[in-house]
Amino acid sequence: MKVLRSLFLLLLVLAVTAGMAFASGSTESGGSSSSGGTAAPAKQFLIYDYWTAGGEKQAIDALFKMFKDKHPGVEILENQVAGGGGSNMLAVLIGKLQSHNPPDAFQASMGSQLKDYADAGYLDPVDSIWQSTNYANNIDPMWVKMMKFDGHYWTVPLNAHRTNWLWYNKKIFDQLNLKPPTDFNSLLADAKAIKAEMPNVAPISLGVKEKVWSTYIFDMVDLLTGGVDFMQKVDSGVIDYKTDPTFRKAMERYAELLPYFYPYSSTKTWDQAAALLKTGDAAMYWMGDWVLGYFLSIGMKPEVDFSAVALPGNVWEGHADSFPMPKGAPHPQLAKDWLEMLTTVEAQKTFNLIKGSVTILNNVPSNIYPDPYRKLSADTLHSGNAQVTSDGFHGGLMTANFGGDLQNILTQFLSDGNVDNAINQIANAAQRDNLKQNMSWYWAQ
C-alpha cells in the first residue's frame, strides 16, 4: 500500500511536470510558427546576426529602422550572438534549424559555409528575388559563383568587404621615408627597414587571439606569390601541398615575415592589433576594410595618422555578408520583404556607409564614400577590370573544417616557423577533411 501510494504520487508529479513542459513548449511553438494566426506573432520579425561591435551594430540598426518605416506594425526581435566570426551564432542557431523552428532571417556568408546550409535543406532558394531585381547583372560575377549552387541562388548579399589591404602608420612611413609596398619583396624590404631603424616598433601588426587572422596572412603570401588562381587552388585543396614548388615558396615567404610580426600576437584580438598602429608600436597591418571604422572610432585621421595600399592593386579580394531565406520561416512574406529591401541602392548605401564596406551593387557611384580607401575599393570592384576573388576562410573558399585546422597549424607556425612541418600538416588536414572533394563544387562551375 505504501509503495503504491508512493508510486502514485511520483506519477502525479511526473504528469504535472510533463504537462507544464508541454504547455510551455506548445505556447512557444505557437508563437513562432503560426504565420497567419493571431495578430501579435505576425508582427514579430525574428532575426539572428553577429554584428555587435561599434559601427556594425549601428549599420544593422539603420536597416532595421528602414524596415520598420516600411512595416510600422512589425516588431523586430533581434538575437545578436557576438564572436567567433559567426561560429558562436551557429552554436545558438543550429538547434532552431534542426528542430525546424527557424528564425525569419539570419546572417550568413557565402561559398562553402553557405552551401552547408543549402545542402542541409535549411534554406529556400531566392531565385525570384534575384530575377525580379536583375541582381546577377548588377553585381560582379564572383558573387554569383559563390552564392549559386545547383542552379539556384541561396542568399542575398548586401555588402562587400575588401580584405587585401595593407594599412600603415603614415607618420612612421614619412619619418623613415618609406614607400608603401607594391609586392612581397617591397613589403619585406619595408619591414626590414623599420626593424633596423626602429627596433621597438613591430614592422607588421598581427592579433591571432582569434586564430582566423593567421589565414589572412596565408592568403596574402599565396596571392603575392602565385596570384589569384593559385590562391584559390590552395584554399580549396586542388594543389598537392607536399610537392607544389609555388606553395613551398609561399610558405617560405610566410616564414620570412615571422621576425617582423608583433611578437605577442597571440594576446591580441584584431582590433587590439589595429590599435598598435595608433600607439606607434606597429607600423603595418594586413586587415580587411572593417578596420577603417575602428581607426576612425579611436580618433585616427585618414592620410594623417594612417593610410592604406591594396596588395596587389589589380586584385579585389574580399567577402560579403548576406541573408538567406530560411526554409519554413514563420513569416515568409516579411522575410521576403527584408531580402528585397537589401537589394535596393538605398539600403546598401545606408548600411555600407556606416559599416565600413562598399555596396555589392555596381551602379552606386563611389563618390558617396567619405574616405579614399572605400572609394578605391568600390572603383576596383565595380570597374569590371580587376581580378575579383573571395577570400579563403570568411569568403568560403575553404570548408569550415579545413579552415579550423589551418588556423591552428598556422598559429603554431607563427611560433616555430617550421615550413616542412606546416606543409605536412596542411596536407594531412586537407586529406583528413576531404577538402578537394568538398570544394569540388567551386571548380565545377
Partner 1 sequence: MMFKKSYGFIYLTPMAILVVVLYILIAWNLVASLTLWNGILPTWHFAGLKNYINLFTFNRFWDDLRHNLIWLVVFIVPTTFLGFILADFFSSMKRSEKVFRQIFLFPMALAPVVTGTLWAWVYDPGSGVLNSVIKAFGVNTARLGWIADPRIAIYCMIIAGIWQYVGFAVVVYLGAIRGLPTEMYEAARLDGAGRVRIMFSITFPNVGHGTLISTTMLAIFTMKVFDLVYIMTGGGPGDKTEVLPFLMYQIAYSQRDFGMGTAISIVILVLAAAMVIPYSRWAISKWVQE
Q: What is the nearest approach in angstroms of partner 1 to the Cβ of residue 10?
A: 5
Q: Which is nearer to partner 1, 205 or 232 (CB)?
A: 205
Q: What's the grid cell of residue 157? A: 548579399
Taking the complex as a whole, the smallest distance from the CB of residue 349 to partner 1 amounts, in Å, to 33
Q: Could you please report the per-residue DSSP string of 128-180?
A: HHHHHTTHHHHS-HHHHHHHEETTEE-EEEEEEEE--EEEEEHHHHHHTTPPP
Output the DSSP codes for 368-406: G-SSHHHHHHHHHHHHS-SEEEE-STTTTSS-HHHHHHH
**Degrees (nearest 5) of the Cα angle 23, 27, 28?**
120
Q: Minimum distance from CB of 401 to partner 1 (Å)?
A: 4
DSSP state letter for 203 = E
Nearer to partner 1 (CB atom), residue 105 or residue 400: 400
Fill in the DSSP letter of residue 261: B
Hey, how many other C-beta atoms are within 10 angstroms of the C-beta on 293? 19
Nearest approach, Cβ of 214 to partner 1 (angstroms)?
Answer: 10
Is 231 or 282 the residue whose CB approaches partner 1 more closely?
282
Q: Is 241 helix (H, G, I), strand (E, B) or coil?
A: coil
Report, in Å, the least distance between residue 153 CB and partner 1. 19
Burial of 87 (0-12, 13-18, 19+ CB in 10 A): middle
Residues in the chain: 445
Q: Which is nearer to partner 1, 73 or 199 (CB)?
A: 199
**CB of 298: closest distance to partner 1 in angstroms?**
15
User: Among 435, 388, 401, which Cα is nearest to 240's?
Assistant: 435
Question: Between 129 and 276, whose beta carbon lies closer to partner 1?
Answer: 276
Q: Which residue number, 210 or 337, has a Cβ lying nearer to partner 1?
A: 210
Q: Are strands 165-169 and 75-80 parallel, antiparallel or unpaired?
A: unpaired
CB of 140 to partner 1, least distance (A): 27
Pick between residue 211 and residue 382 the one whose CB is nearest to partner 1.
211
Q: Which residues bind partner 1 (CB under 8 A)?
A: 2, 5-6, 9-10, 13-14, 17, 84, 87-88, 90-91, 94, 97-98, 116-117, 119-122, 200, 208-211, 263-267, 276, 281, 400-401, 403-405, 408, 411-416, 425, 432
